[in-house]
Amino acid sequence: MLHWYVMHAKPQKELFLFKQLNLNQIESYLPLAMYNGHFNLGGMKPFFPGYLFVRVDIATSGISQLLWIPGSKGIVCFGGEPASVSDGFILQLKTKMGSIDAEAGSRMQRYHDGDPVTISSGPFEGFQAVFNEYLPAQDRVRLLLKTIADSCIRLEVPAGQLAA
- State which residues form the domain around 20: 3-109
Where residue 124 falls among pLDDT bands split at 50, 70, 90?
A: confident
88 and 129 share a domain? Answer: no
Residue 97 CA to chain centroid, in angstroms? 9
- Residues 65 and 124 both lie in one domain: no
Same domain, 118 and 53: no
- The pLDDT assigned to 135 comes to 77
Q: What is the pLDDT of residue 41?
A: 43
Query: For residues 133 and 156, what is the distance between their CA atoms, to the nearest angstrom?
Result: 9
If one counts the domains in the chain, the total is 2
Please list the residues that pair with 134 across neighbouring strands. Answer: 141
Give the list of residues 6+ apart from residue 39 with CB closer than 8 angstroms, or none: 101, 105
**Residues 130, 87 share a domain:** no
Reported as a single tens digit per residue, the pLDDT across 3-55 is 999 999 999 999 999 999 999 999 999 998 765 444 444 457 888 999 999 99
Tell me the CATH number at 133: 2.30.30.30
Residue 107 pLDDT: 57
| SS3 at position 89 | helix
pLDDT digits (tens, 9 = 90+) for 49-103: 999 999 999 988 888 889 999 999 999 999 989 989 999 999 999 998 888 766 6
The pLDDT confidence band at residue 136, using thresholds 50, 70 and 90, is low
pLDDT at position 37 is 46
Residue 121 makes CB contacts below 8 A (sequence gap 6+) with 160, 161
